[in-house]
Amino acid sequence: MADLPKATIKRVFKDAGAERVSGDVPDAVNKIVKEMARGAIRSCAASGRKTVSADDLRLVVVVQ
């Protein structure tokens, strides 16, 4: 499975207002994103569909 680039993840956190971002954050984000993707895929399959939708992702993640 492909990982999101570390620099991109750090930039997202900085754009969100973080002054500094620890070096272990990108690895943690990639792990979390993969788990979210797996959950969304399971939701999609349970519904008998092949296309993952934003609704599948919402079932896995609480959107604020």
Per-residue tens of pLDDT for the chain, all 64 residues: 799 999 999 999 999 999 999 999 999 999 999 999 999 999 999 999 999 999 999 999 875 4
The pTM assigned to this predicted structure is: 0.85
The whole-number pLDDT of residue 61 equals: 86
Q: What is the pLDDT of residue 64?
A: 47
Every domain of the chain and the residues it spans: 4-54
What is the reported pLDDT for 63? 59
Specify the amino acid at residue 14: K
For 45, 52, 58, the CA distances from 49, given in Å and listed in that order, are: 6, 8, 16
What residue type is assigned to position 40 of the chain? A
pLDDT of residue 51: 98
Tell me which fold the domain 4-54 belongs to.
Histone, subunit A (1.10.20)
Kindly state the tokens that stand for 6.
């570390």
